[in-house]
Structure 1
Amino acid sequence: MSQFSTITQELHQATSDLQQVNPIIGILRFSIIGVIFLTLLTIAWFVPIGIIFVLTTILAGIFYSFWLICTHDMTHQTLTSWKWFDNFIPRLISWPILSPYGIYSELHRLHHSWNGINLKDPERVQWTKKEYETANQLQKWYVNNQWVLDIFVCGGIGLIFKNFIQAWQFKHLVNVHRQLLWDIVGMSLVKSLLLTIAFYHHQLGKYLLFWFVLERVIGIILQTRDHLEHYGMWAKFQNHQLTQFYAGRNLQTHPIIGWLMGGLNYHAVHHGFPDIPFYHLPTAFDRVQLILKKYDFPVMELDPGYLQSAYLLSQQTLLIEQD
């Protein structure tokens, strides 16, 4: 048995007890975040447009972002392990902001297979050196200012359009047609219902302003997370699992932030073991580090928190060096 087969086997043995999902823990996180968001939503709906409305809506956008991050757990069936819940609920909370969850879930499977390996990875945000060298001046300007433009300009709308564009690009590889139909019909029905309610109560302008602020806040948080997870980390190692450990970013942050982010501050560990629920990822990180040390492999890095890492990385233009 090769060294790589041995370490892979030992890694799976060391983490096998962490792959059991406790639905109560997942439901508790989902419910707490959801109740906070819905409370802020209710306050924003009943106060007049003004500073309280804007501040409440911004806070609602922050917690809506954390609520949407729960849908990532559902994609991997690690929030509750209840298939009906993990298939229906993420659509229910994604469609109101026109986020095509079904398409995202299909593309995300490709991402887990291709991260660090195949440059067609639909969630790759880092350009290659070759792509940069052959780009025009406008594209180079975009790459040099990518973090600011993606986070503060493209925002949530950018992520939505990106999902639809990639769904078309990968339509021959993933189950896009059925998911696309579900998403378009679902988003149309939900958005029509919400607009009708707002119009009936003579609050259409307020609803559109609320939705705009939500989109901006959610876009900032999710684009930042999206870039932090893999930007500057692209690399291929001896096997798929080691590639995932070294081609993803782990962040040192407060446990409450880690809880709100669904454990994705241990993103490399999640990629190595996508079946481990969020509350076991810190333990998995420690166990994986010990085994990597045992076999004289480099340990995974633990970068500073979200804000500091985002600032530091946004000051650099990092390109993928192709073989």
Structure 2
Amino acid sequence: MSVTQFTEQELKALEEKTTIPRFLFLPVGLVAIWCLAVYWPTDAISWQIFLTLFISYCLFCWTSCFHECSHHTLSGSKNASIWLGRILGTAMFVPYTVYRESHIRHHAYLNKPSDWELWPYSDPNTSLRFRRVFIWFDLILGVFMAPFIYGRIFWHKDSPLTDPKLRRTIRYEYAGIVVTWGLIIGLCIHFDAIWGLLRVWVLPHYLAGIYQNTRKFTEHLGMSSYDPMLGTRTVVGNNIITKLCTYFNFDIFVHGPHHRHPKIAHNLLLQKMDDYKEQNPDVKYPVFTTYWAAIIDMAPSFFKQPGVGMNAGAPAPAKEKKQIDNFVGDVSKEVLAETDLSSRKD
């Protein structure tokens, strides 16, 4: 498995940032799961519905933590990112290394045919009819579609993952998922607790999959540019709800700067966005002050033409400056061809 290499300045920023308060969703979510499991303090249907929705959002935050782990930017410790990522990946049925390798290429080849993470929306060989049908499965069955889409980078005959050690690591992670969930399901069957598993884990996890894929669509669908600052939607909240959601999701909503600088500490993304806007006042970045506004902007693409890059009207991309198998400091300067840059390079 590749290990992200940080400059001294990048590593210092990771070590100095305060991450612990953002982890509230983890213990609070576990407490909520316990309350739902034992019907505490009441079995009233309204309370059960509230807990289910609350847990589902906590699990959605877990996916953002999983994402942060894949970048090795959760803290100054790479091992902490790797092992927490493997635990979360096992819970979500997505091997950590599969997700990381797919996500590395998602940053390097945003909206291009080689962007495995945005398949089929990035693949010009998929028909519009197929994408119009597939997107509903992707939205409604996100909990099942995510393992399928991410797994393609390992199982596909044209997989770029050819290193035997890397593929062995992924096989071990798949085996870990099968064994772990086999034991959990077996124990639930033995103790007649399958209904409890469905109620306290499967249903909230299912809902979290819908939230997660809605986020994916909102940040990417309909974006044609290969430039990370213009090929993604960025949300910089102007109200307390959006700001809180951004905070507990490790600032992933500030998506343009994150895509251009995948090794930057998440708490610096807002400042990075402000810097780009100040340096390039003539560039109209796709920045929204609420997530709802970004969803509205995305909606026509969802229904009419679900696609990115070439499937959203862009010409074929130029050849990159170099092939990528790890995160870089600045995608625009280190990877993207000059002809694919749409914004200034400050």
> Which TM class, normalised by the smaller chain length?
0.7 to 0.9
Partner residue in 2 for 1:3: none
Match 1:124 to one of 118, 124, 135 = 118
Partner residue in 2 for 1:320: 312
How many percent identity over aligned positions? 18
Match 1:68 to one of 63, 70, 85 = 63
Distance 1:17 1:81, change over 3 A: closer
Distance 1:27 1:186, change over 3 A: farther
Residues 1-323 of structure 1 mapped to structure 2, 5 A cutoff: 20-22=13-15, 25-30=18-23, 32-47=24-39, 51=45, 52-116=47-111, 118-124=112-118, 127=121, 131=125, 135=127, 140=129, 142-144=130-132, 148-152=136-140, 154-169=141-156, 170-173=158-161, 177-236=167-226, 243-253=227-237, 254-293=242-281, 298-316=283-301, 317-318=304-305, 319-321=311-313, 322-323=315-316
Letter of the 2:235 partner, please give it: L
Structure 1: where are the runs of 5+ without partners? Answer: 1-15, 237-242
Distance 1:23 1:73, change over 3 A: farther
Partner residue in 1 for 2:325: none
Distance 1:194 1:37, change over 3 A: same
State the 1:221 CA deviation.
Answer: 1.0
Contact 2:117/2:149, CA 8 A, preserved across alignment? no
Letter of the 1:248 partner, please give it: T
Contact 1:125/1:231, CA 8 A, preserved across alignment? no
Contact 1:106/1:174, CA 8 A, preserved across alignment? no
Distance 1:125 1:234, change over 3 A: farther
Other structure's SS at 1:20 match: helix
Letter of the 2:113 partner, please give it: L
TM-score normalized by the length of structure 1: 0.79
Distance 1:43 1:67, change over 3 A: same
Letter of the 2:243 partner, please give it: P
Q: Distance in 2 between matches of 1:18 and 1:204?
A: 45
Letter of the 1:120 partner, please give it: S
RMSD of equivalent CA atoms: 2.8
Distance 1:305 1:184, change over 3 A: same
TM-score normalized by the length of structure 2: 0.74
State the 1:162 CA deviation.
Answer: 1.2
Other structure's SS at 2:19 match: helix
Q: Distance in 2 between matches of 1:287 and 1:217?
A: 36
Distance 1:203 1:130, change over 3 A: closer
Partner residue in 1 for 2:334: none
Contact 1:18/1:280, CA 8 A, preserved across alignment? no
State the 1:92 CA deviation.
Answer: 0.8
Other structure's SS at 2:62 match: helix
Letter of the 2:18 partner, please give it: I
Letter of the 1:223 partner, please give it: N
Q: Give the total of aligned pairs.
A: 290
State the 1:81 CA deviation.
Answer: 2.3
Q: 1:185-244: CA deviations, max 9, x gaps?
A: 2112321332244335431222134333123211111101111222122224xxxxxx21
Other structure's SS at 2:250 match: coil
